[in-house]
Structure 1
Amino acid sequence: MKPKDIQLKLMWRGASQRLAFVETEKMNVYVLQVMSILQQSYCSPNYLYYLLPGEPKTIREADGSKSQVVLVKDGEAFRKLWEDAVQNMEEAIGQLRQVQTYGVTASRFLPYVSMLPAFAAIRALVKALPAERRLGAQRKLRKWYWASVFTSRYSGSVESTSARDFLDLKAWFDDDEAIPGAVSEFERRFRDIDFANETKSGTSIYNGIFNLLAIKGAKDWINGEIPSAEKLDDHHIVPASWGREHLGGSRINTILNRAPLIAETNRHVIGDRLPNQYLPELMTDNGREHVLAILESHLISAHAVDILIRPNFGPGDFDDFIAERRSTILSAIEDLLIKERLDLPLNLRDLDARIEKIELALRKCIDEELAGDASAIPHYVADKVEERIQKAARRQASSGDDDFSRLSRKLEYFDLRELQDLIQAKTLWPLFNESFGSKEGMAIKFGQLAELRNGIRHSRSVSQIALKEGEAAALWFEGCLKTRLATPV
């Protein structure tokens, strides 16, 4: 690029230290890809050519005619775009290193290096949005990021995937209903992820779980501190030596049998001992509840601990432990990433989960009282959500789950206030009067619960009054719906 008055090697030397956290020899190319995505939405090698200052690019107009444009006017414009791309990449890496949000504590735990150009370019889109829209866009960005990690989206043709995701996220930022296919697929199929066969460190799913453990604040089992990246070991919960003797193959190396601990704990305190040898000692010395709390930060449930400390631990016990931990990790993915409770304080996170259970119980109550008859919904209530249902039906037509005629299916698209409208409809209220008492009293409780829920889910501040009234309303609904909350909904 010297003929164009661009000394790219010199420019890269000036930028390389700013991006040194990520260990890759392709970072200079990734910076160019960020430039290309932001200028022309594509970043394949052929498109990078058009970043040359003064280089014309032929484009096809909407009417089919062709014209030429110059993306980069001169060397000065190139240097400005380069600096912007470096800045965007630096900020993107900084965000990924935010433990509470993305959990990348070291370069070796980055799920995809090749995903960086798309992530940085999409973040640049967010920064360019009006201030009032950025918070919602950031949430969409995070959901896309985790969907990409846990579906191994960037394991194939990276350039075309980056371009498609950039355009999809751009559309989603402008239209809440334009949910990218990658996100929808993740939400539908995340429970099918084969964690048991994720046995090689460094894959996106393997590293994604380690990131999730970092977000959860996984603590060392001996000193109770969160391990620093440079002191962290990838610990086998059930020892690898035991696995070689009793399991064979690589099953013992699954991410479901791994935990981040400091090297001293892993190598010198625990060593090759089975958990049923050292966990009882820890509980005796520190108390069972304290030890369980630390293990819970690793997404190891109390039931999983009980499995680990079984006497005569054998292959069947190992399978039981793996199944239980898989269930716990899936619940964490659903709770923190899909239902987006990651940013909430613990008290609001728990309240949000309670409100969701109440909504599910309300839908079950309505479905049962109406005997599954969707035609019983008053038209003025149904009309409010029909457009939402139709959009969902079109979006999910290819998934095979398109029976939107069932009442239970329709009710999934009713929000809290619409459920209230349905229950208190004149023709239906006699069915619910016994469960909820007076219509006026119920309306007050719906209002209090809805205010709290909206504050939580739209990232608005929640006043102490709204919090207390919302908590009281949640208790009231839990009392009214006690039998339905006690059974799966």
Structure 2
Amino acid sequence: MVAGARDWVSGNIPPHGDLDDHHIVPASWGATNLSGNLIHTILNRTPLTAETNRNVMGKNLPNAYLPKMMQQNGEAAVRATLESHFISPAAFNILLREPFTSADFEAFIAERQRTIQDAIESLLIKERLDLPPKLRELDTDVEFIELRLRAVIENSLEGEVELLPSHVAQRTTERIHRAERQNAALDGQRYTTLAGKLEYCDLRELQDIVAGKTLWPRFEARFGTKESLATKFGQLAELRNGLRHSRSIDEVTRMEGEAAILWFNHTLAK
């Protein structure tokens, strides 16, 4: 739960006592399509509320229950929520495959393992476990907003990489190239997509995409005015920088950051 895993239907962080250990791909499917106990691997499990586990997922495959969730809550929100469970966009797309085969299951498990390993490394490097509980909760909230922003941008731009502002595209390409040199196993194909490139955008670059002159009409109905958007991005960025760089956070920064979190949660839920 360090990543602030949210319930797949409500989008809230559920109380610990209300959690069920859920198979993402159902055990009943694994019993007839996989050998051994592979279906029960921890990489195919995640904590969810009892209601979501039993009444929404049940014995259905992800390619059956995820489209229903997207229809109810919107694709951007569902993708962002699943990312809080270390289910990357690539893993999400694998789960939607039709038909879903044993090879797809193995691909999903491999991708989720990579995502979790990256998250553990990131957590240790950032030393976020040393944050006080309240600040760690705020850090989780900020990260969730970043995930939802990426999903909203990808959806609004309809996956078209060419629509990225030139300076954002250049910076992300440079970062991806550096990452590829450092990690030969990096999935280069994924990072040619808009979703992949957005993973290498910082918070201010996400703001530049949304508020850019040519792209703003795609976002205006959701965010209102550029002025209010800039204010909230500024408050969120100030809080985020304090959290991620182990700086002291005064009460004003914390309260303004909390207000920005509430605003973004409301705005991104539209």
Give the distance between the partners of 1:422 and 1:457, measured in 2 at CA: 22
434 and 326 in structure 1: CA distance in 2 versus 1, 3 angstrom threshold: closer
Q: Distance in 2 between matches of 1:380 and 1:398?
A: 27
RMSD of aligned C-alpha atoms? 3.5
1:424 and 2:211 aligned: yes
Distance 1:387 1:415 in 2: 13
After TM superposition, give the deviation of residue 383 of structure 1 in Å: 2.6
Q: Normalising by structure 2, what TM-score?
A: 0.56
Q: How does 1:378-397 map to 2 (within 5 A)?
A: 378-397=165-184
1:476 aligns with one of 252, 263, 266: 263
Q: Offset at 1:449?
A: 0.2
Residues 1:355 and 2:142 aligned together: yes
CA distance in 1, matches of 2:268, 2:126: 23
Give the C-alpha shift of residue 320 in structure 1.
11
Q: Which residue of 2 aligns with 1:411?
A: 198
> Would the alpha carbon gap of residues 336 and 346 (structure 1) be closer, same or farther in structure 2, given more than 3 Å must change?
farther
The answer to whether the Cα contact below 8 Å between 2:168 and 2:201 also exists between their aligned partners in 1 is no
Give the structure 2 partner of residue 466 of structure 1.
Answer: 253
Instruction: Specify the SS of the correspondent of 1:414.
Output: coil
In the alignment, structure 1 residue 437 sits paired with structure 2 residue 224: yes
Distance 1:464 1:433 in 2: 31
Question: Which is worse superposed, 377-386 or 443-452?
Answer: 377-386
Return the index of the structure with the highest Cα Rg. 1
Unaligned runs of 5+ in 2: 3-14, 22-37, 48-84, 87-115
Check if 1:303 corresponds to 2:90: no
Unaligned runs of 5+ in 1: 1-211, 213-292, 306-318, 484-489
Q: Counterparts of 1:320 and 1:447 in 2: how far apart (Å)?
A: 44
What whole-Å deviation, never above 9, does each CA across 1:371-416 have from its counterpart, x for those lacking one? 1111111213323333212212333443445432101100000000
- Structure 1: distance between partners of 2:153 and 2:41: 38
Of 445, 455, 479, 2:242 maps to 455
Q: Once the two structures are superposed, what CA deviation does each residue of 1:322-362 show, in whole Å capped at 9, x if it has no partner?
A: 9599746998x849547642011111111111111110111
Compared CA separation, residues 435 and 345, structure 1 to 2 (3 A): same
Cα contact 1:393–1:404 (8 A) shared by 2: no
Q: How many equivalent residue pairs?
A: 174
CA contact (8 A) 1:389 1:404 kept: yes
Q: Would you say the 8 A contact 1:363–1:408 is kept in 2?
A: yes
Q: What SS does the corresponding residue of 2:246 show, helix, strand or coil?
A: coil
Counterpart in the other structure of 1:364: 151
Alignment of 1:275-290 (within 5 A): none
Q: Percent identity?
A: 47
- Bigger relative contact order (CA 8 A; separation at least 6): 2
CA distance in 1, matches of 2:199, 2:43: 28
Q: TM-score, normalised by structure 1?
A: 0.32
CA displacement, residues 229-264 of structure 1 (integer Å, 9 cap, x when unaligned): xxxxxxxxxxxxxxxxxxxxxxxxxxxxxxxxxxxx
Code of the aligned partner of 2:182: R
